[in-house]
Amino acid sequence: MRNRLILLPGWGLGVSPMEPLAAALRGLDEHLQVDIEPLPELDSSDLQDWLDELDERIPQDVWLGGWSLGGMLASGLAARRGERCCGVVTLASNPSFVAHEQWPNAMSGATFEAFLAGCSADPRLTLKRFALLCTQGAEDPRGLSRLLLGGAPNTTANVLLAGLELLAQLDTRAALQGFRGPQFHLFAGLDALVPAEAAAALFALLPDIEIGLIEQASHAFLLEDPHGVAGAIQAFLHECGDD
């Protein structure tokens, strides 16, 4: 099913931020089937539990893509499936969301810990803050953050916390290095959550993959510029189809 792309959303905001991108992709290629798969609603922060559920739900032999946390999970599932995955596409997705010694181009541990504590104390307020960070760098950050929050599902505090705890420990470098299929990783130049420098660091780690950067864009670039993001993805898929 090289003509099917499954997209996974990011943390906390549900599938609605992905919908304009999915529509734009379908508009560019009528033969491409694009589906958005919601993230698991688990109170476990064990990566294998999340991948097990996604593996069960998502058909084999499709392209896997995702935004932020969704991209990290798509990378993990692609590595698990190997030849049974057509390729992987990530959007504003850092191999490690939280900075550590081997991957400094990420959110500081102290900032993330404060975020985690905030989610424990007041999940709704934390989600609002998160939406504002997602849109920082956009032309209309407040309007865009209201759009993000307007479509957010009513997720329980336990599930939101488990997703953050998963995000804290995830490191997809080994998964991406082990996956032999085509890869495309698209970053945003004004991203307040994933530093643009992560793009160069990932290219240094994996020089054989495709990396893109939309310079004047926020973490929420798939909602800010769905047609630009769709064009970049479609060009990559078309190039892979010509190989």
- 68 counts as catalytic: yes
Pick the catalytic residue from 93, 96, 219, 225. 219
- 242 counts as catalytic: no
What does the block give as tokens for 60? 């084999």
The torsion angles phi and psi of 218, rounded to 5 degrees, stand at -95, 180
Pick the catalytic residue from 68, 93, 96, 145. 68
DSSP letter string, 108-156: -HHHHHHHHHHHHH-HHHHHHHHHHHHHTTSSSHHHHHHHHHHT-----
Helix axes 69-81, 47-57, angle to 10 degrees: 70
Q: Is 35 left (phi over 0), alpha (psi -120 to 50) or beta?
A: beta
- 191 counts as catalytic: yes
Cα(63)–Cα(230) distance, rounded to whole angstroms? 14
Pick the catalytic residue from 185, 191, 218, 225. 191
Q: Which residues are catalytic?
A: 68, 191, 219
